[in-house]
Copies of this chain bind each other. A is one copy, B any other.
């Protein structure tokens, strides 16, 4: 049987484009109140402040252990809304397809995207499809933008972080980065890493009642915890001290980190939340999170304390008993991780 491939004409705005969109996009996402996925979707009114975000996904390879570009494109945008303190509601879906992409691969990605959206309780309501010639993309790139509504409970402000505040993560870190890297480099490991690609919006919802004591929340994606935490303390008079013993690392990711000599703190997660909170609510948030499947590995991994130097720094108290500075990665380590 001949394999069907994406052709340039699928992006031309004529009948071929319409047929592709009807067969593959509208059939999956055109249910609900917004049938036909119009160029612009008129949505129900939003009672609180709308929250708006966007991400383009160019992950290579676009299918990897634990996920693919489809679920990643949902989780990445849902998580950006969630850690901004919002309930995710609506997604847009814009595809850039490379001529020659197997239609079956597109279908797998769109199925995965559809399932992820359903799991997150969000709807794809508008979209766009472009096709570029061979060698002008790498299979498939996806952009999702998202709209959510702000919860009234949160008032994140990194400047409110105090000496004694706790740093919490919802589970093992770095699994996404390790899984994509392993897949890309063709490294075969028994029990190798799998991406943690997953939504964190239920974690955010679960800690609404402690909102006034939460200074900051984020999903540590590109650049990992190292990047997020360094941004948090740069130019401030607080250090963050992480405890290596507490840091949750999955077995497969640990193996990759050891073999390739990577810094686990620079590896991306795509299904973890981290937050900074007052010490009084730390245990209660951990308890809430551990009650959810996506937070069962939640732990406190560090504290904020008065800066030793002129500007805040991130340090890791190592298993060996020393302390090493955790630098902000320049960023060339792992391109196309998301």
* A contact set with B: CB distance below 8 Å: 7-18, 38-58, 80-81, 83-84, 86, 90, 92-96, 125-128, 130-133, 135-138, 141, 143, 145-148, 150, 221-223, 227, 231, 266, 268, 328-337
Contact = CB atoms under 8 A, between A and B. Distances in A.
Given A49-B44, A50-B45, A56 B128 contact: yes
Nearest to A220: B13
Given A42-B86, A54-B128, 11 more contacts: A8-B335, A9-B335, A12-B334, A12-B335, A14-B329, A16-B330, A40-B84, A42-B51, A43-B49, A46-B46, A56-B130
A56 B10 CA distance: 15
Q: Give the dominant DSSP class at A's interface.
A: mixed
Nearest to A41: B52
A7 B41 CA distance: 37
A237 B133 CA distance: 39
A272 to B, nearest CB: 15
28 contacts: A8-B335, A12-B332, A13-B223, A13-B329, A13-B337, A14-B266, A14-B333, A17-B223, A17-B331, A40-B86, A42-B84, A43-B51, A45-B50, A52-B90, A52-B125, A54-B127, A54-B143, A55-B128, A56-B94, A56-B96, A56-B130, A58-B130, A96-B141, A130-B336, A132-B138, A133-B335, A143-B145, A147-B147
A101 to B, nearest CB: 14
Contacts of A223: 12-14, 17
Given A42-B84, A45-B49, A12 B54 contact: no
Given A9-B331, A12-B333, A92 B17 contact: no
A55 B94 contact: yes
A328 B271 CA distance: 44
